């Protein structure tokens, strides 16, 4: 079946502009995660969705970052007034999200490479 | 602060040898443990998951978990140049839905 897809694959923008990144998870996966990865660094957790709800927004770096998920499927990460330090790869992952039990595998999309000039 | 620690490397191993990657974690309540492989410029992909103390083998890969000592390791037997990548260790937080990620160990397999 289809995996996690993300768009755009690459985005170059000017400082101060807003950008919108999209994630389409695996069908039937209720849990969705956004991460940020700077060059040569590990994964930085941004936000987690269970269905359309975001019980944990603790990783969002500032109020310029927001995310939403509609219909329990597609999610959008929006960065307002982009800064050069926002340049990174933004990764989306999804998992089954079954209640209780053990954590399931997270499946990653190909990422969006954002460059802020 | 819940943490997952990995040696950043690079770890250089000759082709055909055993590569040993280690990870320690701080949260005693963690229940699920994962090793992901990330090639340069690519997304992480799952290699192994382990939930119980002991060893779990899958082909050339063996994951080892010791909850008392709070470490998890990954052994790669008969290392191949294609195994050269960064290996990320991830463990569940107390919410059991979120993963705490290590920064990764860069592995280089030399022909």
Q: How far is CA A51 from CA A29, A78, A84, A96, A99, in A?
A: 9, 18, 32, 10, 12
Residue B43 touches chain A, beta carbons under 8 Å: yes
Q: CA-nearest residue of chain A to B96?
A: A103
Among residues A93, A86, A95, which one has the least CA distance to residue A113? A86
Residue B33 touches chain A, beta carbons under 8 Å: no
Inter-chain contact B97–A45, Cβ cutoff 8 Å?
no
Over residues A103-109, the mean pLDDT reads: 85
Residue A116 banded pLDDT, cuts 50, 70, 90? very high
Q: How far is B64 from chain A (nearest CA, A)?
A: 18
pLDDT in tens, A30-43: 899 999 999 878 89
Residue B81 banded pLDDT, cuts 50, 70, 90? very high
Rounded Cα–Cα distance for residues A91 and A112 (Å): 7
> In A8-111, which ranges are E strands?
10-13, 19-24, 31-37, 44-50, 53-56, 65-69, 75-79, 88-95, 107-108
């Amino acid at each position: 079946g289809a995996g996690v897809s993300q768009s755009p694959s690459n985005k170059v923008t000017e400082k101060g502009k807003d950008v919108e990144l999209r994630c389409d998870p695996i069908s039937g996966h209720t849990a969705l995660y956004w991460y940020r990865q700077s060059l040569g660094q590990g994964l930085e957790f941004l936000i987690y969705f269970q269905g359309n709800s975001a019980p944990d927004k603790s990783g969002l770096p500032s109020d310029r970052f927001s995310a939403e998920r509609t219909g329990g499927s597609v999610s959008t990460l929006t960065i307002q007034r982009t800064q050069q330090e926002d340049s990174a790869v933004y990764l989306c992952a999804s998992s089954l999200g079954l209640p209780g039990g053990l954590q399931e595998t997270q499946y990653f999309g190909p990422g969006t490479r954002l460059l802020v000039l | 602060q819940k943490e997952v620690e990995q040696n950043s490397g690079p770890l250089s191993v000759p082709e055909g040898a055993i590569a040993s990657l280690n990870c320690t974690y701080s949260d005693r309540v963690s229940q699920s443990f994962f090793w992901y492989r990330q090639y340069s410029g690519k997304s992480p992909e799952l290699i192994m998951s382990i939930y119980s103390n002991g060893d779990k083998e899958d082909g050339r890969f063996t994951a080892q978990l010791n909850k008392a000592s709070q470490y998890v390791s990954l052994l790669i037997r008969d290392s191949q140049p294609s195994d050269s990548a960064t290996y990320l260790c991830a463990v569940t937080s107390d919410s059991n839905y979120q993963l705490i990620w290590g920064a990764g160990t860069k592995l280089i397999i030399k022909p």
